[in-house]
A = this chain, B = another copy of it.
Amino acid sequence: MNGKDRSEKDRPPHPRVTLKDLAEDLGMSVSTVSRAFQKGSPISDRAREIVLTRAAEMDYKANPFARSLVGKKSRIVGVLVSRISSPFYYEILNRIAEHLREDNLTLMLVAGEHVHELQEGLNMLMAYDPLAVLVISSFSDADSIALSPTARNKLLYFNRVPADSLVLGVAYDNRAAGARMADYLIGLGHRRLAYLSSGMDSSTDHERHQGFSARCAETGLNQPLLFGTKGFTYEAGMAAAADVVARLDDLDAVFCAADILALGLMDGMRHHFHVSVPEDISIAGCDDIAMAGWPSHSLTTLRMPRDTIVRELIRLFRSIIDDHRPSPEIIRVAPGDVVVRNSTGHNVRQ
């Protein structure tokens, strides 16, 4: 087959304008035309302009496969999402997606529940030689993914960061968050504190608990009572109400690992056990999700500065993409202020 004829009958499935088509149309060589699209290539301004103009007219689109094949760097960026833990992750995903589009980068998404799925997804992804890979997760699954050295320095962890400190990541300072809430509750006069954990292997949860406990210790209080449930869900929080009620007389306040747990706990206490909040017990959450502000719950919580963390994330992500890879380190974003609402009050029981 000679590639000269342009009869429409030739190949219906591939009506794509190629660089060669463009070159022939313009009576230039392929190389010249190619150079017009390359940033620092030796080509006259005039020639470049002509090419670019005609390219637009003919609706020429470079074939990314050919480009990546020869140039050996793709315009692809990967995002790995482990479990749908929170809508917040998808807000992140959206914002990342938009930033990438602006840079003419495409986003490959890998989502999975289990390690082996994520592993498989990452393998597929790596075959595309992505510029960078963002790992969004709060569970330990992400840590167990086997990483080739190549993969390793393309990764950027968000929210959950592996124990291994040789990686790059952005995360909230959850210990500080736990400590801050302990301070607030203690300041309210509460002395008998408790922590409600999701029971999941989540670094966020662990760290909040640690920070909370540590501050109790520093203040000379007993270790907070620890309640556990099964998951970061409203239902899990509600299910924990029975346990908490059983110890109600030993308790002034409960700090929950996340707002959604606190909301569930609150409703469980109120509706199943007719416990009044905050009269009988103070309840606080963490994150300041939208529903915490609903008048039906009016949950005291800790604001976590989303914008800051997202900004940091995008900054780092871009620097990996641009190959100014920062040295491995975990960026810790400090928590915001306690948002005081009606689910907590001064201790009047003692």
Contact = CB atoms under 8 A, between A and B. Distances in A.
Contact of A127 (B63, B93, B101, B296): B63
Contacts of A13: 72-73
Given A69-B66, A84-B91, A111 B97 contact: yes
A93 B117 CA distance: 16
A225 interface: no
B73 A69 contact: no
Contacts of A267: 294-296
Contacts of A90: 84, 87, 90
B97 A109 contact: yes
A150 B15 contact: yes
Given A91-B84, A106-B108, A117-B98, A62 B127 contact: yes
A263 to B, nearest CB: 8
Interface in A254-312: 263, 267, 270-271, 290-291, 294-297
A125 interface: yes
Range for the number of chain A residues in contact with chain B: 35 or more
Contacts of A94: 81, 84, 111
Contacts of A74: 65
A23 B342 CA distance: 71
A50 B267 CA distance: 62
Contact of A101 (B93, B112, B126, B296): B112
A330 interface: no
A124 B111 contact: no
A127 to B, nearest CB: 5
Given A101-B121, A101-B124, A109-B109, 9 more contacts: A13-B73, A64-B127, A64-B128, A81-B94, A87-B87, A106-B108, A108-B109, A267-B294, A267-B295
11 contacts: A14-B72, A65-B128, A84-B90, A90-B90, A93-B111, A97-B112, A101-B121, A107-B110, A108-B108, A267-B294, A270-B295
Closest 9 CB pairs of A and B: A97-B111, A271-B295, A65-B69, A296-B296, A65-B68, A109-B109, A65-B65, A90-B90, A61-B127
